[in-house]
Amino acid sequence: MAKINYTKIAKQLKVMAEPKRLKIINLLSNANGEMCATEILKEFRVSQPTLSHDMKALVDGKFVISRREGQKTYYTLNPDTIFDLQTAISGICNEDINL
C-alpha cells in the first residue's frame, strides 16, 4: 500500500473547503472542454477579483489547469488531481475505519 501524504491531502481539502470553489469544480466538470473566465464569472454573483482569487487557489492546488489566449484565460478541470484526492481519501477511510 502506498504511503499516505496527510499534509498534502489536508492542503488540497483546505483549497476545496469553500462552497464557491466546489461549485466551480462542478461547473468545469460538466463543461465540454474548457471555460473562459468570463463564462465562469456569469455563473456567480462575485467580482472579477474575487473569482480570480478562487481560480488562483484552484490552479495552485492543481485542481484546475489554466491557459491564456490573448487577454482571456481558459480553465479546464484537472482530472488527475481529482482522482488522486478521491483515491487518497478512500485509502484513509479504508485504513482507519474498522467496521
**Within the chain, which residues score under 50 in pLDDT?**
99
Which pLDDT value is given to residue 2?
65
Instruction: Give the predicted TM-score (pTM) of the model.
Output: 0.86
Q: Given this model, what pLDDT does residue 41 score?
A: 93
Q: Which domains does the chain have, with CATH numbers?
A: 6-87 (1.10.10.10)
Query: What pLDDT shows up at residue 95?
Result: 56
Q: What is the pLDDT of residue 52?
A: 94
- pLDDT computed for residue 1 by the predictor: 53
Say if residues 66 and 75 touch (Cβ distance below 8 Å): yes
- Give the span between the Cα atoms of 92 and 22, in whole angstroms: 21
Cβ neighbours, 10 Å, residue 64: 25
pLDDT of residue 91: 83
Q: What is the DSSP string of 11-39?
A: HHHHHH-SHHHHHHHHHHHHSSS-EEHHH
pLDDT at 3 (0 to 100): 80
